[in-house]
Amino acid sequence: MKKLLNLYIFRREDGICLYHHPFGSIRIDPQLISGFLSAVLTFMDEIIPTYRKESGTFSREDHVIIVEHGKIVSGALVATSEDADLRSRLKNCIEMFEDIYKNKISGTDKYLQEGIFDDFTSLVKRTFAIRIIEPFCTPVILKSPPKSYLESPATKTVINTLDGVKSVLEISLATKLPIEIVAHEILELMDEGFLDIKCICKSSDVYKLTKRGIRALNTLSITPPGNLRSNILLKILSEIDGIRTAGEIAKELKLPFNKFSEYIQFLHKEGFIEYITLHHLAILILKDVIDLLLANCLKYLGKSKTVDIFQLAKEKAKKVYTRIETIELTNNMRIDFEDLKRHLTTSIIEDMVLTIKALTTLILNLRFHIRNLVGDRVDTAINENINTKISLKYSIKCMDILSVLGIEVKELD
């Protein structure tokens, strides 16, 4: 599981730490780290004068320090791994901090009374909530919050939807609240001790390895608690590929699913694996939809016609989204998604959504051309497959996940 450890915002002119927020129990002295980063950045200024205008990363085996610069302040985010989305969120944090406190930041130390920036914490939590509270985790009530918490419509809606079974994603779908708002509300309630998070392994879940998981596989080293065996943990790690569901892997390994779940929960809690995020799951679902469309096209129209229809759909989609140009059919009449997945792992969320919209446009064009030639036969096949197979595989409908991402596609109903 990707973890955020600490956020620091320090003044660029003198390296004084203005704001510090620990995301967990691991704390590093704010002035120590801001002094260290300030010294490193000053050194880099000497050898590369343009360095401070750029972002940077300092890493060690288990943690990275992601650094972003504003006009007046710099921010450092300590996490277990880096990606473009985290960097983008850090940059947004810095911009908000400067907008809100610019008159207090620039000036003398008389503005730096203790606690003067404490009200920024709610914005930090909102910015990073979805990276702390994963979409597939399940919030559980520990004790009922007081009535004062019900004054906020969003908080009240989330509390009334909690049942110990629904995941964060499912709560978002049920309440029609954006998933980031749901994650923020849950994070606030957790910090007050009203909620806890359970990572329940479902047969439809999809996982991928973290850097720590890859390292464990390479070294063949992992230390489990007494009731789990290291050789089985390593075997499970070797089978996790970011595509197959937990149920499929458990079946292949011939492990009872309840026992498999124990191993998965340990691997997830200790950071060896992580859930595929909402956007990656959307890509997997859309890949399944395209595969089903192509399979039905082959069934009714043959290979050459399928190629023609795909090219027509692609040319039309390219007029809206140029990234469709890179998508090609393989010899077995499928689309190779590996390059696309690699792109997504280094993209910010806005880029991911654009890619998803591009794929959705391609799907709609494919369906339109197939429908013109096949008619009701393909409609029946598509509806049955999309509404049944995908729903069973991922415990979510294609339309639901697109809706969460803000993509309105009535034609896929």
Q: What pLDDT, in 10s, does the model give residues 281-320?
A: 788 888 888 888 888 888 888 899 999 999 999 888 888 8
Report the C-alpha gap between 117 and 273 in whole angstroms. Answer: 35
Instruction: Mark which of 275, 297, 319 sits at the end of a domain.
Output: 275
pLDDT digits (tens, 9 = 90+) for 219-230: 998 988 888 999
CB atoms within 10 A of CB 266: 19
Least Cα distance to 20 among 8, 11, 29, 3 occurs for 8
What is 265-327 written as a DSSP string? Answer: HHHHHTTSEEEPPHHHHHHHHHHHHHHHHHHHHHHHH-HHHHHHHHHHHHHHHHTT-GGGGG-
The verdict on 108 and 120 lying in the same domain is: yes
Residue 104 sits in the same domain as residue 56: yes
pLDDT at residue number 278: 74
Are 261 and 301 contained in the same domain?
no
Pair 49, 96 in one domain: yes
CA pair distance 381, 389, nearest whole angstrom: 11
pLDDT number for residue 262: 92
Which pLDDT belongs to residue 113? 62
322 plus 363 within the same structural domain: yes
Q: Where residue 413 falls among pLDDT bands split at 50, 70, 90?
A: very low
Rounded to an integer, the average pLDDT of 15-36 is 72
In contact, 93 and 7? CB cutoff 8 Å: yes
pLDDT at position 60 is 62
Q: What pLDDT sits at residue 399?
A: 76
- pLDDT of 16: 81
In this model, does residue 382 exceed pLDDT 60?
yes
Q: What is the 3-state secondary structure (H, E, C) of 35-90?
A: HHHHHHHHHHHHHCCCHHHCCEEEECCCCEEEEEECCCEEEEEEECCCCHHHHHHH
Distance from the first to the final alpha carbon of the chain = 34
pLDDT at 51: 45
Indicate the residue among 275, 308, 330 that finishes a domain.
275
Residue 57 has pLDDT above 80, yes or no: no
Domain count, the chain: 4
Statement to judge: residues 312 and 355 lie in one domain: yes
Give every CB contact of residue 180 below 8 A, 6+ residues apart in sequence: 126, 129, 130
Residues 171 and 291 in one domain: no
Beta bridge partners of 140: 196
Q: What is the pLDDT of residue 380?
A: 65
CA 16 to chain centre: 32
The whole-model pTM stands at 0.67
Name the strand (E) or helix (H) holding 200: none
pLDDT score for 46: 59
The pLDDT, as a whole number, for residue 64 is: 83
More confident: 341 or 261? 261
Residue 117 pLDDT > 60, yes or no?
A: yes
Residue with more model confidence, 105 or 158 = 158
Residue 52: predicted pLDDT? 45
Question: Where in the sequence is the domain holding 314, given as residue range(s)?
Answer: 278-412
Percent of the chain whose predicted confidence (pLDDT) is above 90: 21
- 186 and 115 inside one domain: no
What three-state secondary structure class fits 374?
A: helix
pLDDT class of 1 with cuts at 50, 70, 90: very low
Residue 30: per-residue pLDDT: 62
Confidence at residue 281, expressed as pLDDT on a 0 to 100 scale: 78
The reported pLDDT for the residue numbered 191 is 87
Residues 316 and 384 both lie in one domain? yes
Domain end residue (candidates: 179, 198, 217)? 198
pLDDT-derived band at 147 (thresholds 50, 70, 90) equals confident
CATH number at residue 111: 3.30.450.70
User: Any idea which of 82-86, 91-95, 191-195, 291-295 has the lowest mean pLDDT?
Assistant: 82-86
Worst-scoring range by mean pLDDT, 63-77, 140-154, 333-347? 333-347
Does residue 276 register a pLDDT over 90?
Answer: no
Are residues 159 and 224 both part of a single domain?
no
User: What average pLDDT does the chain have?
Assistant: 81
Report the pLDDT averaged over residues 29-42. 64
Specify the pLDDT at position 95: 94
Residues 6+ apart with CB under 8 A from 384: none
Of the candidate ranges 183-187, 195-199, 376-380, the one whose mean pLDDT is the lowest: 376-380
| Residue 80 exposure: Cα atoms within 13 Å on the Cβ side | 18
pLDDT, mean of residues 179-206: 87
Instruction: Please enumerate in sequence order all residues whose Cβ is within 8 A of that of 246, keeping only pairs 6 or more positions apart, or say none.
Output: 201, 202, 203, 204, 205, 206, 207, 257, 260, 261, 264
Identify whether residues 51 and 95 lie together within a single domain. Answer: yes
Give the separation between CA 306 and CA 298, rounded to whole angstroms: 6
Residues 145, 122: one domain? no
